[in-house]
């Protein structure tokens, strides 16, 4: 058993002042670490302990390349709620900090790019229209600074305002959408609600923010949407790859086709990752789990390949619902999805490609 600290002089004179720091060894010249290098469980929660920079003027002054944005909104779900807690869970789902090295791409992304956490959209509960407006405004501010926004959702309805904001900033150029999901999210409405998490891709097309022919969807499976929705998708020129195609041809061949399709028309790409594209055995923490999905490694590799091949205008990672996320596996997959995109952007920068948007 360890002995208690004992000071015989203090026993003789209880009022005697003592240098407790010196006596306990607390006055040594210990190393002090920067916030960026501290363990991830210390201090405020930012993505990878990156600086918290919410002012768009400061984003521009720092010439930020990539900015993390939280969209803690899930008022538009149709099944399991909880995605409002997704941004915080994704930020917390990391075990390392400071300079990192991607083994897959052999790059230290934070040494190549300026990356910050730009904070969250100003969300309150129970007000869909306001929530979407705040996501739109936040993403537009970030994209307008030249930084590529990576938005952490939140339910999938946030893609409508987020991608719209990016599309507006990129005018007169056009953006396309590469969309990984178990579900097409192209319904006309959900029980009469036009702004649900099952309708954002239809709203983007009908509003004119993104052309239907510039949509590519990967990983669709299960029992939704109904056949008539695919009829509308076909009329609009959307292209998609069902999960059965990945099963038959392999993920490599399908992703190669998706990249070719993504490069056919638009000037830049917005990448939308619904975490339920991954099989729920690997990513259970989501609002509408659909068995039979992609492997986590297939999705992460696909992100590296796509971001390495196209000009990325923005990205979102949505539908992480921590209440259903045993052992944080879903949040970890989402965290890595963001990191893989950032690392691929760093490789592009090293190869001489533009990353920031300069207008």
Tokens coding 305: 């390949």
Neighbours of 222 (CB within 10 A): 16
For residue 151, tell me if it sits in a domain.
Answer: yes
Tokens coding 24: 């306990």
Residue with tokens 């069902």: 242
Predicted local confidence at residue 315, as pLDDT: 98
Predicted local confidence at residue 215, as pLDDT: 95
For residue 298, tell me if it sits in a domain.
Answer: yes
Tokens coding 18: 């003592």
Predicted local confidence at residue 93, as pLDDT: 94
Residue with tokens 């040594």: 28
Neighbours of 331 (CB within 10 A): 27
Predicted local confidence at residue 258, as pLDDT: 96
Q: Domain containing 315: what range?
A: 21-350
Give the residue among 279, 269, 276 at the shortest CA–CA distance from 311. 269
Q: Distances from the Cα of 322 to the Cαs of 79, 80, 85, 91, in angstroms? A: 14, 11, 6, 12
Can you give the CATH number for the domain in which 244 is found? 3.40.800.10
- Which residues of the chain fall short of a pLDDT of 70? 1-17
For residue 163, tell me if it sits in a domain.
Answer: yes
Tokens coding 237: 């020129």
Q: Distances from the Cα of 16 to the Cαs of 7, 10, 20, 220, in angstroms? A: 11, 6, 12, 75
Type and span of the H or E element at 92: helix 86-92
Give the integer Cα–Cα distance in Å for 44 and 213. 42
Count Cβ atoms within 10 A of the Cβ of residue 226 and give its class: 0-12 exposed, 13-18 middle, 19 or more buried.
exposed
Domain count, the chain: 1
For residue 13, tell me if it sits in a domain.
Answer: no
For residue 7, tell me if it sits in a domain.
Answer: no
Tokens coding 216: 């590519």
């Amino acid at each position: 058993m360890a002995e208690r600290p004992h000071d015989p002089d203090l026993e003789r004179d209880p009022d005697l002042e003592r240098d407790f720091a010196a006596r306990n060894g607390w006055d040594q010249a210990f190393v002090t670490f920067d916030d960026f290098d501290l363990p991830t469980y210390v201090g405020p929660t930012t993505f990878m302990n990156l600086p918290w920079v919410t002012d768009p003027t400061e984003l521009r002054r720092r010439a930020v390349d990539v900015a993390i944005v939280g969209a803690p909104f899930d008022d538009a779900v149709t099944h399991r709620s909880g995605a409002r807690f997704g941004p915080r869970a994704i930020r917390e789902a990391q075990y390392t900090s400071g300079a990192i090295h991607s083994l897959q791409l052999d790059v230290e992304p934070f040494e190549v790019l300026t990356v910050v956490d730009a904070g969250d959209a100003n969300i309150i509960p129970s007000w869909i229209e306001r929530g979407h407006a705040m996501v739109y405004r936040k993403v537009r501010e970030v994209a307008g600074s030249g930084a590529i926004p990576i938005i952490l959702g939140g339910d999938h309805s946030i893609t409508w305002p987020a991608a719209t904001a990016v599309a507006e900033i990129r005018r007169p150029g056009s953006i396309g959408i590469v969309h990984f999901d178990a579900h097409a999210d192209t319904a006309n409405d959900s029980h009469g609600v036009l702004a649900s998490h099952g309708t954002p891709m239809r709203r983007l097309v009908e509003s004119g923010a993104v052309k239907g022919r510039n949509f590519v969807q990967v990983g669709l499976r299960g029992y939704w949407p109904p056949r008539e929705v695919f009829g509308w998708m076909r009329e609009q020129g959307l292209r998609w790859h069902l999960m059965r195609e990945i099963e038959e041809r392999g993920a490599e061949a399908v992703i190669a086709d998706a990249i070719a399709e993504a490069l056919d028309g638009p000037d830049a790409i917005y990448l939308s990752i619904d975490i339920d594209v991954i099989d729920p055995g690997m990513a259970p923490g989501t609002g509408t789990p659909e068995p039979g999905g992609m492997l986590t490694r297939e999705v992460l590799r696909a992100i590296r390949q796509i971001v390495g091949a196209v000009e990325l205008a923005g990205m979102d990672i949505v539908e992480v619902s921590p209440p259903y996320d045993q052992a944080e596996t879903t949040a970890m997959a989402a965290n890595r999805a963001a990191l893989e995109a950032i690392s691929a952007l760093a490789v592009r920068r090293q190869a001489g490609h533009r990353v920031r948007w300069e207008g």
